[in-house]
Structure 1
C-alpha cells in the first residue's frame, strides 16, 4: 500500500530560515518547491522538529512526479 502520510524532519527540508520556522514558510515550501498540489493535501501540520503531511484518500497520484519526490524527502 502506498503512503498517504509523510513525517519529514525539519532538518531534511531545504529551507533557509533563522529561528522562526512557521506554517506559511512550510506551506510555501510544500506547494512551490515540492510541487504538491493543494487539492491533494488533506492536512499540513508543523511540530517542533517535523512536518506532518497527510494526503487525500480520494485522489490518485502515486505515479505523479511530485509524489515520487515527496517519498524521497520523507
Structure 2
C-alpha cells in the first residue's frame, strides 16, 4: 500500500488572510499561489513548493495567522 506524502504550506509571518485561492480537491502546480496574506499593508502570496492535490484548508479570509501556522495541506503527486 502506497503511503501518501503530504506538504503543509505554512505562514512565514504574522498576517491577515485576505483570500484563499484554492479549494479542497484542486490540483495545484509547483509555484501556484494558494493564499494571499496581508502584513504591514503589503500583499504576500503564499506559494506551494510542489505539485499535488489540496487535501485540507486550515484558514479562511479574515483570519489572523501567526508565523508557522498551517494554511493549506497538499497531498503530493
Give the TM-score taking structure 1 as reference length.
Answer: 0.35
Q: In proportion to residue count, which structure has more helix?
A: 1
Q: In proportion to residue count, which structure has more strand?
A: 2
